[in-house]
Amino acid sequence: MLSLTPDLVALVHRVVDDPGPTPGFVPMTDDDYRELAERLLADLPAGSAPWVFAYGSLIWKPAFSSPEHRIAVARGWHRSFALKLSRWRGTPEAPGLMMVLDRGGSCRGLIYRFPDGDPVEAMIALLKREMSSKTTTNRPRWLKTETDTGPVTALAFTADRAGSAYAGRLPDPVVADVLATAVGHVGSCAEYLHNTVVHLEQHDIRDSRLWRLQAMVAERIRTRQARPAALPGVGERNG
């Protein structure tokens, strides 16, 4: 049973104004999205149908309706809370963390086949879902994945370690501290973690690190709520 419950996640929620783009933000234009979509599809092996590898929020909030999905493993990559967020699920004053695929290990997730029709339009929708800046640290690339029915090439969003938002490999206690507190204008990091673990479990995917993290985050939220509020005037000298 999950320790991080919807009730605990709700305790983290608060209304946060959108702080707007960060310094150095260079927005993608419609032409940029179309050019990148066409270039990525041109790099797909001939005769291959386009798929996307989902390891986090794409599982529970996809960019399009897919006609088919499969369990898949990406070797040489792992889930990592290595993407700093000063917007969306964090603020410049209290940045959040989001998962990205980073080098090393392996990752079990799902692959979703692009919908029938124009793959360029589906790719554009996916890129707009995952990228907003030309300087993004979350880079799309084709990966070889393993499924029960054989290898499948799928698009995945991976960490650019030279990117300005790359946080590196952080210790679990540090990650848990951030996930238990960070909130942005679209929601909290605790909500993001909860939704990801719940939907992975629905597909019988158990990520041991995420399971540990959800328990650590739940404990931090409970501990913070149990602390007595400071009494008015405590620490002030009488006049």
pLDDT interval class at 228 (50, 70, 90): low
Averaged pLDDT, 168-192: 97
23 pLDDT exceeds 80?
yes
User: Could you tell me if 61 and 163 are in contact, meaning their C-beta atoms sit under 8 angstroms apart?
Assistant: no
pLDDT of amino acid 214: 98
Global pTM value: 0.91
Helix (H) or strand (E) holding 129: helix 119-130
The domain ranges of the chain are: 16-222
Around 202, how many Cα atoms within 13 Å sit in the side-chain half-sphere? 9
Report how far residue 176's alpha carbon sits from residue 64's, in angstroms, rounded to the nearest whole number.
Answer: 31
Q: Which residues is 111 bridged to in the sheet?
A: 53, 70
Mean predicted confidence (pLDDT) in 188-200: 98
C-alpha dihedral over 105, 201, 219, 221, to 10 degrees? 110
CATH match for 16-222 among 3.30.1490.100, 3.40.50.1010, 3.30.70.2740, 3.10.490.10: 3.10.490.10
Residue numbers annotated as active site: 130
pLDDT of residue 79: 97
Please, what is the average pLDDT of the chain? 93
Res 227 pLDDT > 90: no
Q: Is 118 exposed, middle or buried, given 0-12, 13-18 or 19+ CB atoms closer than 10 A?
A: exposed
- At residue 229, the pLDDT reads 52
How far apart CA 85 and CA 129 sit, in angstroms, is 15
Residues 111-161 have pLDDT tens digits of: 999 999 999 999 999 999 999 999 899 999 999 999 999 999 999 999 999
